[in-house]
Structure 1
Amino acid sequence: MTAGRTVARAALVAAGVVALDQLTKAIVRSEIEYPFEKHDLVLGLKLVHTHNTGVAFSMFSGGGAVVVLIALVALAALLGFFFTHLKTRLVWLPTGMLLGGAVGNLIDRIRLGWVTDFIKIPHWPAFNVADIAVTLGVIVLIFVLEKASK
């Protein structure tokens, strides 16, 4: 696959993640009252409306501009990695997932000062679509790099 097609595929995945993430967060912000309303779904899964001013698991909560700066550095590192691995088979998929998730949460941080989280499972902090994309992106990236090394 050409470098252009690889970049285009990653951009398409990232755009899809950002769109789905921002849509779901907008629905939550408009339909679920912050911070007390909860909607039970199945097997302990709940929809809630929480604000996270930190990063994963609310680390660096209230970090403000520092958290945004860390996110921008991480995005730059990811792009650097991506552009040096364009020939790696399927690298566009996890890169798009990671970029989309990072950008989705970065939009919230810059626009609102926090990230809207809304999926709650027992014994785990609330999370959102962007967080799912980042987590799955890391897992898929490990598999892609493992496959490429063989």
Structure 2
Amino acid sequence: MPILIVVFVVIMDQLSKFYIQSHMTLGMSIPVIDDIFHITYVLNPGAAFGLFEHQTLFFLIVAVSLVSAAIYFYPRIPKTYSLLRFGTGLLVGGAIGNVIDRIKTGYVIDFFDFRIWPVFNIADAAIVCGVGCIIFTMVYLHKEDEANGQ
């Protein structure tokens, strides 16, 4: 596991959330670029788009399962698949960052507000980028394997 990536994501996520909580009140919104990008402090009791609100135990089980699977499968990923390894680190770091929030408060602290998308945080962005890296690698490698007759 690229432990440095995991630790970096968790630290950046938790520091940013601590800063938001320390300097803003719940619901407060600070425009960075008017009507395009704001920093808005919200508590999300669910998953993406507010789905499955107040299902903390469910999210904890999913996150622990995901991290466990990553720990199990990571050593089996060839070292040449660096994007897949990187994406796994981002995914695990993001999952841990949001689990910390859920354990502490039952909510996830979100603050990036692009006005046309639900408010999110660094952990969410890491999860999405990690999954993107994983999917890209799987599609690319599948096409490469097909081209090589495997």
Q: Give me the TM-score of the superposition, normalised by structure 1.
A: 0.86
Map of 1:1-16 to 2, 5 A cutoff?
7=1, 10-16=2-8
Equivalents in 1 of 2:94, 2:56: separation in Å? 19
Contact between 2:77 and 2:85, CA under 8 Å: does it hold in 1?
no
Unmatched segments (≥5 aa) in structure 2? 145-150
Equivalents in 2 of 1:57, 1:50: separation in Å? 13
Higher gyration radius (CA): 2
Encode CA deviations 1:72-101: one digit per residue, 9 max, x unaligned. 122223333323324452032101100100
Q: Which residue of 2 aligns with 1:111?
A: 104
Question: Is residue 2:38 matched to residue 1:41?
Answer: no
Residue 44 of structure 1 deviates from its aligned partner by 1.2
Question: Is residue 2:99 matched to residue 1:72?
Answer: no
The residue type paired with residue 137 of structure 2 is V
Equivalents in 2 of 1:21, 1:67: separation in Å? 18
Unmatched segments (≥5 aa) in structure 1? 1-6
The residue type paired with residue 144 of structure 1 is T
Q: Which residue of 2 aligns with 1:143?
A: 136
Root-mean-square deviation (CA, aligned residues, Å) is 1.6
Map of 1:47-126 to 2, 5 A cutoff?
47-90=39-82, 91-126=84-119
Residue 125 of structure 1 deviates from its aligned partner by 1.0
Equivalents in 2 of 1:33, 1:55: separation in Å? 22
- SS state of the match for residue 26, structure 2? coil
Q: Percent identity?
A: 32
Contact between 2:5 and 2:93, CA under 8 Å: does it hold in 1?
yes
Contact between 2:29 and 2:39, CA under 8 Å: does it hold in 1?
yes
